[in-house]
Amino acid sequence: MNGVSGKCFGLQRRGNGFDMKTYSKVGACLIVFSVVLIFIFQDTAFDSITRFGTTSFSDTGSEDSCLSRNQSVLYRKSSPHKPSSYLVSKLRSYEELHKRCGPHTDSYKRSIKQLKSGQIDHNSSDCRYVVWVGLAGLGNRMLSITSAFLYGLLTDRVLLTNQAYEMAGLFCEPFPNTSWILPDDFPFKSKLRRFKQNYDHSYGKMVQSSTFNYSTQLLPSYLYLFLSNDCSRQDQLFFCDQDQALLGKVPWLIMRSNVYFLPSMFLMSSFDQELNKLFPDKETVFHHLGRYLFHPSDRVWGLITKYYQDHLAKAEKRIGIQIRIFHPKTSPFEYVMDQILACIRKEKLLPEVGTEKYIASPSKNQTSKVVLVTSLFRGYFEKLNKMYGEHPTKTGEVVAVYQPSHAGRQRTWWNSHNVQAWAEIYLLSLSDELVTSAWSTFGYVAQGLRGIRPLILYNRTIPDPPCGRGVSMEPCYHAPPIFDCKAPTTTVDTGALVPHVRHCEDLSWGLKLFNSS
C-alpha cells in the first residue's frame, strides 16, 4: 500500500507525508464556502450531531485546527437521528471534567503521584481515569475507543488514549482546550503494549488466583483490564455489577481492547437507568458517539475532500461497496464477485447492462450513479468498472466505478495505511446506499457514522439470499460474555436477557443493540 497510497487520492507523496499544497487550496476554498453557507442558512444546515460536537469549540477559536469539524456539513446529509438532550448535557459535563483532569493539569499530576506510589488517597476528590490501549485494525480500534468512552461517561472517568505511531495524526482532538492523548511521560507508557493477559496487575488474573484483596485500604492504584476478543471469563467479570462496585474505587484502569464491548454495558443493572436516559433510541449509540469523537485531522480531511470533489461530488446517487475477505481460500474471487452482483440485482442498486458496446457518448442529462469500492484487492473494482465502462445500461443511466486503493493486505502498524483506511471509511459514510461485508469492523464504523442500516454480504457457502438488510445500524460485539454474573460458571444466552440486546444479523453468537420494537 505504501507505493499506492501517495497517489490514489490524486496527491503526490513527498518524503514521509503528502503534498500539503495540493489540498490546502481546496481547504481554503471550502472554508470560504462553509462560512457563506453558515451565514445564509444561520445554522439550519447543521444537524444536531454536528452542533453538539462543535458548539463548545466555537467560543475558543480552536475549530481552525480541525477543518472537518465544521466542514463536514457540506458533505454529510443531515442526520434524522437526534441525540437526547440528556446526552448533550452529559457530554458538556464530561468536557468540563476532562478539562479539569486532563493531561498536565494539577489534578492529573496528583493522580500520577498516586499511581507511582501505589497508594490511594481515599480522602482525595481528584480524578479517575480509563486508559485505552488498542490493537488490531483501525475499525476495531475506533469501536473499542467508543466503548471505553461510554464507560468513562457512565463512571465519571477521563478517557486517555495510548495513540502509538500508527495512529498519529488521524483524528482531531475531540474535547475543547485539552487532549485525550496519553502523555509520553506517563509511567510505564513504553510497556503498555507489552501488557499481556497474565500481567501481574491484570484484574482477571488476580481474581482467578484469589490474590485480590477486597479491602478498600489495600486496593492497588491501578488495574489492567484485558477486554480483547480472546479474554477469559475472569476478565469478563468486568461486566458484572458487583465487580464494578469494586473497580470504581481504583483510580487508574488500563484497558486493552479490540472489540465493541459496549452492548454488554446495556446488560448491567447499575448502568440501566443512565443508559436509558442517554440513549432512548438504542440503535444510535455509535452513531452519536462516533460522530462526536472522530473528526478527520486536517491531513486526512484534505485527502477526503480532494477525492470526493474529483470523483463523487457530481453524482446524483453514491453507492458504497465495502469488501472484506477474511479467508481467501474459502472465499474465492468468483464466489464473492457473483455474490456482489447478485446483491446488486436483487436490491436494484444499479441498472442492468446490455450486451452491446458503447457507440455514442452519454448525454449530459442522464442520471449519474457512482460506485465507491473499498477492498484490499483490485479485482472486484476491475470487474465492475469493465462491466459499466464497456457496456451501456438498459436504463440509459451513467454508472462510474472508483476504488481509492488496493493494498493487497492489511498493514495495521503503518501510519500511512491507517490514514488511507480512515479516509476510505469516511468516504463510505457519505454514501446514499451502503453494502458491507459480514463481520467487518471497517464496515461497522462506516454504517454507524452514516446512520444507515446497510445491506450485508453474508459469509455463506451458498449466497441465497446474497445479502440482507441490517435490522440495526449498530456494530456487533464479536466476543460477548456467555455466563450469568450471579453464577459465573453457568452459561446463559446473553442475547435473550433484555429486548434491546440481541444476537447480530451477521454473527450468531455476537451481541448488538436493537430498538425494542
pLDDT tens per residue across span 86-114: 999 999 999 999 999 999 999 999 999 98
Instruction: Give the span between the Cα atoms of 326 and 136, in whole angstroms.
Output: 14
- Using the structure block, give the residue that is written with the C-alpha cell 502498524: 413
The per-residue pLDDT for 8 is 46
Percent share of the chain, pLDDT over 70: 81
Q: How far apart are CA 111 and CA 182, in angstroms?
A: 14
Where do the domains of the chain lie, and which CATH numbers do they carry? 85-283 (no CATH), 298-473 (3.40.50.11350)
Which position has the grid cell 446488560? 267
Residues 6+ apart with CB under 8 A from 318: 312, 369, 370, 372, 430, 431, 432, 433
Cell 451502503 found at: 434
| pLDDT per residue as tens digits for the range 382-402 | 999 999 999 989 988 999 999
Per the prediction, the chain carries an average pLDDT of 84
Q: Centre a 10 Å sphere on the Cβ of residue 101 and count the other Cβ atoms it contains.
A: 22
pLDDT band for 278, please (50, 70, 90 cuts).
very high
Of 242, 238, 241, 268, which Cα lies nearest the Cα of 253?
238
The pLDDT of residue 475 is 98
Helix axes 441-450, 138-155, angle to 10 degrees: 60
Selected residue with higher pLDDT from 135 and 309: 309
> What is the SS3 assignment for 44-105?
CCCCHHHHHHHHHHCCCCHHHHCHHHHHHHHCCCCCCCCCCHHHHHHHHHHHHHHHHHCCCC
pLDDT exceeds cutoff 50 at 4:
no
Element (H, E) at 501: strand 501-503
Checking DSSP bridges between strand 501-503 and strand 511-513, what pairing results, if any? antiparallel
Cβ pair 474, 286 in contact under 8 A: yes
Residue 378 pLDDT greater than 70, yes or no: yes
The answer to whether the CB of 473 falls within 8 A of the CB of 455 is: no
Residue 445 contacts residue 332 (beta carbons within 8 Å): no
Integer Cα distance of 223 and 203 in angstroms = 6
- Cα–Cα distance, 110 to 101 (Å, whole number): 10
- Tens of pLDDT, residue by residue over 434-446, are 999 999 999 999 9
How far apart CA 424 and CA 411 sit, in angstroms, is 15
Q: How many CB atoms lie within 10 A of CB 308?
A: 20
> Cell 469516511 maps to which residue?
426
**Lowest-pLDDT range, 122-126, 151-155, 363-367?**
363-367
Nearest to 514 by CA among 500, 495, 498: 500
Q: Is the distance from CB of 476 to CB of 503 less than 8 angstroms? A: no
For the entire predicted model, the pTM comes to 0.86
Beta strand extents in 311-402 (DSSP E only): 317-322, 368-374, 398-402
DSSP 310: I
Helices (H) and strands (E) in the chain, counts: 17, 16
- Please report, in angstroms and rounded to a whole number, the separation of the first and last CA atoms in the chain: 44
Residue 41 has pLDDT above 70, yes or no: no
Is the Cα dihedral 283, 284, 289, 294 positive or negative?
Answer: positive
Contacts of 38 (CB under 8 A, 6+ apart): 45, 46, 70
Show the cell assigned to 426. Answer: 469516511
DSSP-derived secondary structure for 372-395: EEE-S-SHHHHHHHHHHHHS-BTT
Query: For residue 399, what is its C-alpha cell?
Result: 454508472
CB-CB contact of 211 with 96 (8 Å): no
What CA–CA distance (Å, rounded) separates 394 from 407?
A: 34
Pick the more confident residue, 45 or 276. Answer: 276
Q: Write down the pLDDT at residue 158.
A: 98
Integer CA distances (angstroms), 229 to 109, 224, 285, in order: 33, 16, 21
